[in-house]
Amino acid sequence: MSNYIPTIGVEVHVELKTKTKIFSNARNGYGQMANSLTNVVDLGYPGTLPTLNEEVINLAIRAATVLNCKIRREMFFDRKNYFYPDNPKNYQITQSRTPIGYDGYVEIEVNGEKKKIEIEEMHIEEDTCKSAHRGTRTLLDFNRAGVPLIEIVTKPCIASSTEAKLYLEKLKELLFYCDISDCKMEEGSMRADANVSIRKNESDPFNTKAEIKNIGSISNVGLSIEKEIERQAKLYDAGETFKPQTRRFDDKLQDTVLMRVKETGNDYRYFPEPDIPFVVLTDEMIEEAKKGIPMLPDERRKVYVEKGVLETNANKLVQNRPLSDFFNTLLEEDTDFKIASNMLLGDISAYLNREEKELSETTLTKERFLELVKAYAEGTITSKNLKDMLDTILESDKSIAEIMKEQGIENITDDSEIRGVIQEIIKNNPESVSDFKNGHDRALKFLMGQVMKETKGKANPRLANEILLEELKG
């Protein structure tokens, strides 16, 4: 197989996380009983009219902003006319001529180098209903009809399956973090189509493209692009060509399969939707929508590392939105961020996983967490203490000091008491003392162990260490 340069464009449909649908007041929800979240507007009953959910405009502005798009101030909707059973009015309300966002980009990092994936446009539209085929019958579930979508279209600027995957991961992270969408590909709240063509040289015109529709996961997007490049290359190598076509990715075959050859002149008879007046975005609306944008993932990673968090931990935190959000509430505080991140990702995450809980379902507050981090940093509690106390910390409202007292893990911080214990140990272990003096560090650890054993682990480790060194040197 000879070498070809692939050109890839990706179209993503994302369902917006609104309370109600885009053009009706029916609830927007997933996984409910078929046809329980629908009304006469969604069903396209005669005489019904669309209203416009302001939440949709708000989220779309937010999306356009984080995708670095220009925002159109005056826009209308268009009708896209085509007959299909999943299309209740037999037209879909979309934005064909005046997409809300255009000329944007998403930045990815490929092999250590930054690359901007350019966004041609993003527009608002309504989802269709869902059809299920049962033998010779087709069943329709209108719960999805009228769910708000944004469609995000890249320019044909993606050079590889890896770039496509990185783009989708980045897109997903951004939209998820901004509460724009769940971005669950397995539930269809994020759906991707890939347009693929290949050519021999950079200077050649673009060749015929194939569109792979509705790919169910990011990894399958990568795989289907690779398979499609391979298929096209084989055809060209054999001196063959192909017609523009729509394909799908078959999970079982792990390959793309032809759905239909595209007919020329697919005619959607677009015209401006007369039932919805012009939408004019004011500065206030845009500002209001931008307020909903939290600190974005890249920014979070950067700030965390600046605060002393390990890079791997910074990444792990960002991957766990609730922990990251909690962590963000600490950023203005004077605390040990490294310990804080370790604690969240370590013992606290372990607890949450074991109990199948969200952080918000525990009793942990910012104040109590700071108290805990402080105690640990100062050596008032040991990591063993932490493990012992954690369930109580996360399930009651008691202060850390109170819990320590209750569980009898009040550590000895009394200078003279520890000194007495240490002096006794030094007296009883002359061999170790001389080992230490001869430069054997292990002896120090042994002696510390003895201190802990003698105090049943209650000695403040830092304090004990200091006194031990003093006594040994003295």
Q: What is the Cα–Cα distance from 59 to 449, expressed in whole angstroms?
A: 58
* Nearest to other proteins of 135, 265 (CB atom): 265
Q: What's the rounded Cα separation, in Å, for the pair 356 and 350?
A: 10
**277 or 449: CB nearest other proteins:** 277
Applying CB under 8 A, which of residues 27, 29, 34, 44 lies at the interface with other proteins?
44
Write the interaction track for other proteins spanning residues 207-246; mark x where CB under 8 A is met and - where it is not.
----------------------------------------
Distance CA 171, CA 153 (A): 12
Nearer to other proteins, 57 or 447 (CB): 57
Q: How does strand 101-110 pair with strand 190-199?
A: unpaired
Structure tokens at 271: 């015209």
Q: In this complex, which beta carbon is closest to other proteins, that of residue 275 or of residue 417? A: 275
Are the beta carbons of 61 and 285 closer than 8 angstroms? Answer: yes
Q: State the DSSP string of 139-176.
A: EEETTSTT-EEEEEEE-S-B-SHHHHHHHHHHHHHHHH
Quick check: 89 binds other proteins (CB under 8 A)? yes
Q: Is 47 in the site for other proteins (CB under 8 A)?
A: yes
| One residue of 5, 34, 52, 235 binding other proteins per CB under 8 A | 52
Q: Which residues contact 357 (CB under 8 A, 6 or more apart)?
A: 351
* Residue 85 makes contact with other proteins by CB under 8 A: yes
User: Based on CB atoms, which residue is closest to other proteins, 238 or 280?
Assistant: 280
51 makes contact with other proteins (CB under 8 A): yes
Nearer to other proteins, 145 or 390 (CB): 145
Contact 85, 130 (CB under 8 A): no
Distance of closest approach, residue 194 Cβ to other proteins, in angstroms = 27
40 counts as binding other proteins under rule CB under 8 A: yes
Supply the minimum distance, in Å, between the C-beta of residue 401 and other proteins.
56
Cα torsion angle, 276, 269, 259, 141, sign: positive
Burial label for 301, CB within 10 Å (0-12, 13-18, 19+), is middle
Per DSSP, the three-state class of 365 is coil
What is the Cα–Cα distance from 458 to 455, expressed in whole angstroms?
Answer: 5
Crossing angle for the helix pair 461-473 and 415-428, nearest 10 degrees? 50
Least gap, CB of 286 to other proteins (angstroms): 21
Q: Which is nearer to other proteins, 44 or 294 (CB)?
A: 44
Burial class, 290, CB count within 10 angstroms (exposed 0-12 / middle 13-18 / buried 19+): middle
Question: Given candidates 50, 146, 148, 222, which one binds other proteins under the rule CB under 8 A?
Answer: 50
**How many C-alpha atoms does 131 have within 13 Å on its Cβ side?**
12
> Could you say which of 32, 36, 90, 219 contacts other proteins (CB under 8 A)?
90
Q: How far is the CB of 79 from other proteins (least distance, A)?
A: 5
For other proteins, which is the closer residue by CB, 40 or 350?
A: 40
Question: By rule CB under 8 A, what count of residues binds other proteins?
Answer: 31
- Cβ(41)–Cβ(245) below 8 Å: no
Work out whether 148 is an interface residue with other proteins (CB under 8 A): no
Minimum distance between the CB of residue 45 and other proteins, rounded to whole angstroms?
7
Nearest to other proteins of 46, 112 (CB atom): 46
Q: Is 290 helix (H, G, I), strand (E, B) or coil?
A: helix
- 6, 9, 88, 99: which one contacts other proteins (CB under 8 A)? 88
Site for other proteins contains 83 (CB under 8 A): yes
CB of 60 to other proteins, least distance (A): 17
Beta bridge partners of 71: 101
Least distance (Å) from other proteins to the CB of residue 275? 5
CB atoms within 10 A of CB 438: 8
Residue 49 or 280: the one with the smaller Cβ distance to other proteins is 49
Cβ proximity to other proteins: between 46 and 408 the closer is 46
Tokens of 30: 């997933």
Q: Is 101 helix (H, G, I), strand (E, B) or coil?
A: strand
Specify the residue for token string 């203490």.
385
End-to-end CA distance of the chain: 78
Q: Please, what is the minimum distance in Å from the beta carbon of residue 59 to other proteins?
A: 19
> What is the number of other CB atoms lying within 10 angstroms of the CB of residue 124?
26
Span 261-300, contacts to other proteins by CB under 8 A: 265, 267, 269-272, 274-277
- Choose the stretch contacting other proteins; rule: CB under 8 A; options: 43-51, 53-61, 155-163, 410-418: 43-51
Binding mask 60-79 for other proteins (x = CB under 8 A): -------------------x
**Helix 161-177 with 218-237: angle, nearest 10 deg:** 160
- Return the residues of window 91-120 that contact other proteins according to CB under 8 A: 91
Footprint (CB under 8 A) of other proteins, residues 419-458:
none
Q: Which of 32, 36, 45, 306 binds other proteins (CB under 8 A)?
A: 45
Judged by DSSP in three states, 215 sits in strand
Residue with tokens 């897109």: 171
Residues contributing to the site for other proteins (CB under 8 A): 40, 43-52, 79, 81, 83, 85, 88-91, 138, 140, 265, 267, 269-272, 274-277
